[in-house]
Every structure is written in C-alpha cells, then in structure tokens.
C-alpha cells in the first residue's frame, strides 16, 4: 500500500537526483531522465526493503536497476551512461550514515561508530556490486556482438 510517507520519499529521491544533476551541470535535456532514475531507484529500494528487510539486497536491486536504466538511457539519448547513473543512484548514497560514523568516531563512541560504519559499508557495497553486475553483463554482450560481426 502506498502511503503519504512513501510518496514523500519518492518525490524527495527524485528532487535529490535533479538537484545533484543541476549542481554538477547536467544538460537540461537530461534532467527528466535523471529525475525519473532517482524516483525509480528509490522506489525499488523501498520495494527491496519491504521484500527482504536488508540494506544490502535492497540497495543491490536499486543499484542494478540504475545501471541498467543508465545503459538504456545512454543508448536512447546517445550520451554516456554515467550521466544517467550518477544522478539516479544519488538517493542510495549513505550521507547520514557516513556522517554518524564519523561523528561517533570523533566522540569515541565506538559501539555507535561501528554500527553506523556497518550501515555505510552495506550501502556502498550494494551500490558498487549492483553497478558491476549490470556493467559486466553489458560489456559481455557488447563483446559477443563484436565477435559475431568480425566473424
């Protein structure tokens, strides 16, 4: 069931992606794609959390989607995939967890720092793993196509 909280999270994920894209000078013609990528990314993350209740697998699902989405948009828009991947994956970046890790480490509250570091690491690894899986598949498919054409 879609609640007001979920709608707010989806909209803020979308706005965060657009804000990041604007801050780094993404061309206006790509902003809608960046916004949609952020919204869908966070929606899949929420779905993954509902299904598995674990940050890593939810983040993996969302990150893999973002990598696939960016590859598709790159071909449609004839632009580099990173222009779409980075803004769409922004909602997954663990800013508050990283801040809390560092803050608790500075205060020498090692138990809390360790807990937040664990969360930060799960997000970071899920983003990296999801992207790597999709990009490895995409590269393999491209290499197979090249081999078929050369034969």
What is the residue-wise DSSP string for 32-82? HHHHHHHHHHHHHHHHHHHHH--HHHHHHHHHHHHHHHHHHHHHHHTS-TH
Asked whether residue 151 carries a pLDDT value surpassing 90, the answer given is no
Contacts by 102-110, CB closer than 8 A, 24 or more apart: none
- Kindly report the pTM of this predicted structure: 0.93
For 16-38, what is each residue's pLDDT tens digit?
Answer: 999 999 999 999 999 999 999 99
Across the chain, mean pLDDT equals 96
Q: What is the Cα–Cα distance from 102 to 80, expressed in whole angstroms?
A: 34
Report pLDDT for 150. Answer: 87
């Amino acid at each position: 069931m879609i609640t007001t909280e979920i709608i707010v999270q989806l909209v803020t994920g979308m706005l965060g992606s657009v804000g990041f894209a604007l801050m780094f000078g993404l061309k206006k013609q790509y902003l809608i794609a960046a916004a949609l990528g952020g919204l869908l990314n966070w929606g899949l993350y929420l779905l993954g959390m509902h299904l598995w209740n674990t940050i890593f697998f939810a983040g993996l699902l969302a990150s893999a989607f973002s990598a696939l989405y960016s590859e598709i948009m790159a071909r449609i828009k004839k632009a580099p995939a990173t222009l779409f991947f980075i803004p769409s994956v922004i909602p997954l970046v663990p800013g508050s967890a990283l801040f809390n890790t560092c803050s608790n480490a500075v205060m020498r509250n090692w138990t809390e720092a360790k807990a937040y570091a664990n969360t930060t690491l799960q997000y970071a690894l899920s983003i990296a793993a999801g992207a790597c899986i999709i990009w490895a598949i995409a590269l393999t498919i491209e290499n197979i196509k090249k081999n078929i054409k050369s034969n």
